[in-house]
Amino acid sequence: MRRVWILVGGLAAAAVYALPALTADNRPPAVKPEPLRVAPPAPRALPAAPSSMAQVQLTFAPVVKRIVPAVVNVYSRSVVQQQVNPFFNDPLFSQLFGSPEMRQRVQQSLGSGVIVRADGLVLTNNHVVAGGTDTIVALSDKREFKAKVLLADPRTDLAVLKIDTKGERLPVVPFGDSDAVQVGDLVLAIGDPFGVGQTVTMGIVSALARTQGTASDYQFFIQTDAAINPGNSGGALVTTDGKLAGINTAIYSRSGGSIGIGFAIPANLARRIVESVEGVKNGAPASVQLAWVGASGQPVTSEIATSLGLPRPGGVLIKDVYPGGPLSRAGIKSGEVVQAVDGVSVDDMQSLNYRTATHRPGDSVKLRVAEGKSVRDVTVTAALPPENPPRETATIAGRNPLTGARVFNVSPAAATELQMDVMAKGVAILSVNPSGIAANYGFQPGDIVRSINGVVINRVGELVRALNGANQWDMVIERGGRKLTLSVQDRQ
Query: Could you report the per-residue pLDDT of 433-452, keeping only the tens digit for each?
Result: 998 999 999 999 999 999 99
Residues 275 and 167 in one domain: yes
| Catalytic choice (157, 192, 348, 447) | 157
pLDDT of residue 205: 93
Which residues fall within 8 angstroms of residue 102, CB to CB, at 6 or more apart?
Answer: 81, 82, 83, 84
Query: Looking at the domain assignment, is residue 387 inside a domain?
Result: no
Residues 170 and 273 in one domain: yes
The answer to whether the CB of 82 falls within 8 A of the CB of 141 is no
- The CATH number for 405's domain is 2.30.42.10
Among 243, 265, 290, identify where a domain stops: 290
Domain range enclosing 402: 393-489
Query: Looking at the domain assignment, is residue 477 inside a domain?
Result: yes
pLDDT of residue 281: 57
Which residues fall within 8 angstroms of residue 16, CB to CB, at 6 or more apart?
Answer: 6, 8, 35, 36, 38
Residue 188 pairs in a beta bridge with: 202, 238
For every residue of 85-141, DSSP letters joined together read -TT---HHHHHHH-SPPEEEEEEEEEEEEEEEETTTEEEEEHHHHTT-SEEEEE-TT
157 is an active site residue: yes
pLDDT of residue 2: 40
Residues 365 and 250 in one domain: no
* R_g of the chain, CA atoms, integer Å: 31
pLDDT of residue 58: 76
| Catalytic choice (76, 109, 112, 233) | 233
* Residue numbers in the chain where pLDDT is lower than 70: 1-50, 53-57, 78-108, 212-218, 279-286, 492
Residues 285 and 316 in one domain: no
435 is an active site residue: no
List, in sequence order, the alpha helices (H) in 330-411.
Answer: 349-357
Residue 89, CB-side half-sphere exposure with 13 Å CA sphere: 7
- Count how many domains the chain has: 3
Query: Looking at the domain assignment, is residue 458 inside a domain?
Result: yes
pLDDT of residue 283: 57
Which residues fall within 8 angstroms of residue 343, CB to CB, at 6 or more apart?
Answer: 366, 368
* Helix or strand (DSSP H, E) at 472: strand 472-479
345 is an active site residue: no
pLDDT of residue 39: 56
| Catalytic choice (76, 109, 112, 127) | 127
Q: Has this prediction a pTM greater than 0.95?
A: no
Query: Looking at the domain assignment, is residue 386 inside a domain?
Result: no
How far apart CA 225 and CA 214 sit, in angstroms, is 21
Residues 415 and 330 in one domain: no
How far apart CA 336 and CA 473 sit, in angstroms, is 41
Among 290, 324, 347, identify where a domain stops: 290
